[in-house]
Amino acid sequence: MAHNIRGPSLHFDYKNLPKTITFAQFEDVCANISDALGPGYLCVPEKIYEGGILFKKYPGRKNKFEYKTCRVYFMDYPLVNPYMNRDTKMYIANPPLGTLDTFLKAFHGAPRFTMDELYIITNELANVFMSPDGDIPKVVPPIQYRCHKDKSLEKLYKTNEMCRLAYNKFDDTLKRCQRKWAINRIARNYITDRYLLKIYTKRLQEILV
């Protein structure tokens, strides 16, 4: 089952709450989440412009193509690289109060987020914004949107030119004709990076056998 749905939010109801954290603090948050989830988990800051907590390892992972992340919508999230300044500050949206939103993604066979995982993620995020008085942001559960099943999510993504190949390229459960369609997209230079083109094409041809 795939997962593509809004996650919990942090609401900064107190004016004396911090509204910024450094990237180094966010790295600590990811490490704390890994420790709290237990053996087999490894969470790291995701290399993506809006920010996120990438689950690189988790129990039951079957292949390297599984993708599981909790996007965290910081402002001024830096370009993640080995040479970056880890004192870079990241902001929540709409100060002085504001909200920090999350979005859950689990594709290509990755398991959906559990309530325990969400509790730990939001708890660690809230703690890093704790005020000297002990106030923390209020955790607000997501609106209960219908969570798409694999087939309906696949149809949803096919309507988006930028997303549909990303969803289809490694899904071994797709029908043969859909895999051929993905290969044709690659052949028409949808992916311009030659190394990625070689990897993706090889993978898709393997699952057609």
Percent of all residues in the chain with a pLDDT value above 70, rounded to a whole number: 65
pLDDT (tens digit per residue) in 38-93: 999 999 999 888 889 999 999 988 888 888 999 999 988 998 888 889 999 999 87
Percent of all residues in the chain with a pLDDT value above 90, rounded to a whole number: 29
Q: Are 75 and 16 in contact (CB under 8 A)?
A: no
The domain ranges of the chain are 3-140, 150-208
Q: What is the pTM of this model?
A: 0.70
Structure tokens at 115: 């309530």
According to the model, what pLDDT value does residue 132 have? 86
Checking if the pLDDT of 25 tops 90, the result is yes
**pLDDT greater at residue 5 or residue 180:** 5
Checking if the pLDDT of 172 tops 50, the result is no
Checking if the pLDDT of 205 tops 60, the result is no
- R_g of the chain, CA atoms, integer Å: 19
**pLDDT greater at residue 155 or residue 19:** 19
Residue 166: Cβ-neighbour burial (10 angstroms; 0-12, 13-18, 19+): middle
